[in-house]
Amino acid sequence: MSKRAALYLRVSTLDQNTDTQRYDLLQMAQQRGLSIVEEYVDHGISGARTRRPALDRMMADARRGRFDIVVVWAADRLARSTKHFLETLDELNRLGVEFASFREQLDTGGALGRAVVVIISAVAELERNLIVERVRAGLRRAKLEGRRIGRAPLEINRVALLRDRERGMSLKDLAKTYRISKASVCRVIKDAQTAVSKTLPQAASTSADNKELRPPITAA
């Protein structure tokens, strides 16, 4: 049974076409006996662009198991950077999808290709660990220097905001009046409601206890 193949093609400008890439990839697929199930083409997409509609759709289909191998004309057609290429190749490997490039003659289906995947996966994991460690080091330094970590608390008159809300002011008007986001207004109201709900059971319990301790009224 032939492997299901996905072709990915990309050109940087709208006046370019993918005919040359497509011809070479079709020849490559025919020589290897691959069955092409889909072509993903990004037109006029620079290599530096983070979002690529066709590439994003292809990766989504890879996660659904729609094909067994991704074939590209060159590695730089697939990824915007070395880091992005490593991450993409690492994800394809975890999904059990092979990768082959026409220009570099890289094929992760062979023994050498699998060795390359192992190396690439190790490099990708090392990069992720380095990023995590850099973030942790930055947080430690900020803490030692006494700098605030995380979001600063809202400096608003919460009592006045809640009073205006009780008077019927809309969330939009509250946000505009107090110069905060609508989400922040909702958070203040929710926090107040939560505090009230926690207080009410305690008040009811105290009232019940006092009632039990009150001496019974007897007829004179």
Residues annotated as catalytic are 12
Q: How far apart are alpha carbons 44 and 15 in whole angstroms?
A: 8
- CB 67 within 8 Å of CB 97: yes
What are the backbone dihedrals phi and psi of residue 12, each rounded to the nearest 5 degrees, phi first?
-80, -30
Decide if 66 contacts 4 (C-beta within 8 A): yes
Q: Which residue has the tokens 């026409």?
A: 102
Report the distance separating Cα 133 and Cα 130, nearest Å: 5
The closest alpha carbon to 43, from 66, 61, 19, 27, belongs to 19
**3-class DSSP state of 194:** helix
Q: What is the radius of gyration, based on Cα positions, of the chain? A: 31
